[in-house]
Amino acid sequence: MIVLAAPLGIGVTKFYTDRRVTVNANVIAEVIFGPMSTPLQKAAAWSVHVYTALGLVCGFGALLATMRADYRQAFFWLVAATAIDASDGVLARAARVKEHLPAFDGARLDDIVDYLTYVIAPVFLLYSAGSLPAGWGAGISAVVLLSSAYGFAAADAKSDDYFFTGFPSYWNIVAVYLFAAGLPQPVNAAILLVLSLLVFVRIGYVYPSRTPVLRGLTTVFGLVWAVMVVAIIWMMPEVRPALLIVSLFFPIYYTVLSLVLHRRRRI
């Protein structure tokens, strides 16, 4: 009995000792490297990054549609890209992508996608559609591209209290209104130049989904406005002037709110 019990006792002791060593090793690893992610958590985080990257496909679709002179379809591709951009942040925070995929920079991916869909694609559309003056439309486009590059790369582009600094390169929205309104080419050029200049003016603009002040109202107004914009694009090229004018309620609200909050932040 004693002979049989001895090996058994040694085996049990070894089992618990090995298990304790394994548990201690896991604890030490979590202290050094942070909580260990499960395969499911990593898969969820990667799926969010893939979702964000789909904006690149939408931007490419917009470029292809523009080359075919199918501007309405190009704008719908940009709407899809904007919908992705408006929702991927919430998904990223829910999936805790920074925690589970610390070696992958989702913010950098987002900036790459946004520069294509908010800057390059809409500017290319306006240029291709003849909305800019002949002869110097390329120069105007270059000004927009370069000013937006500065806006994206500036260290203070997004503040800690959830504001964009400088005009936040909403060129997709600008393109919708300029194209739908059919304004004279010099007027379009002047608008683009003024907005490009505002990229360098350090005014804080509301981050619609994150700025806490009136966020609920901003979200409701934004959804109503988004439906109007979709209707405007659907009607292109024959857009009802009344709808176009009424839809300006949100850009006006957004601008006024941004200026009021900017002044309040500086006091």
Whether the predicted pLDDT of 53 surpasses 80:
yes
d(CA 246, CA 112): 33
- The pLDDT assigned to 182 comes to 96
Three-state DSSP class for residue 192: helix
High-pLDDT (> 70) share of the chain, %: 87
Three-state DSSP class for residue 229: helix
**Cα angle 53, 168, 126; round to 5:** 75
Q: What is the pLDDT of residues 233-262, one digit of tens each?
A: 999 999 999 999 999 999 999 999 999 999
Q: What is the pLDDT of residues 57-96, one digit of tens each?
A: 999 999 999 999 999 999 999 999 999 999 999 999 999 9
- The pLDDT assigned to 27 comes to 43
Per-residue tokens: 121: 């694609």
Phi-psi region of 236 (alpha: psi -120 to 50; beta: other; left: phi over 0): beta
d(CA 266, CA 257): 14
Whether the predicted pLDDT of 30 surpasses 60:
no
Q: How confident is the model at residue 35 (pLDDT cuts 50, 70, 90)?
A: low
What is the distance of C-alpha 32 from the center of its chain?
32
DSSP string computed for 46-89: HHHHHHHHHHHHHHHHHHHHHHTT-HHHHHHHHHHHHHHHHHHH
Looking at the domain covering 38-266, what would its CATH class be? mainly alpha
Q: How confident is the model at residue 5 (pLDDT cuts 50, 70, 90)?
A: very low
Q: What is the pLDDT of residues 103-121, one digit of tens each?
A: 999 999 999 999 999 999 9
- The pLDDT assigned to 36 comes to 78
Report domain extents, the chain.
38-266
Whether the predicted pLDDT of 20 surpasses 50:
no
Query: Around Cβ 196, how many Cβ atoms within 10 Å?
Result: 22
Q: What is the pLDDT of residues 145-161, one digit of tens each?
A: 999 999 999 999 999 99
Q: What is the pLDDT of residues 200-242, one digit of tens each?
A: 999 999 999 889 999 999 999 999 999 999 999 999 999 999 9
Write the burial class of residue 176 (CB in 10 Å: 0-12 exposed, 13-18 middle, 19+ buried): buried
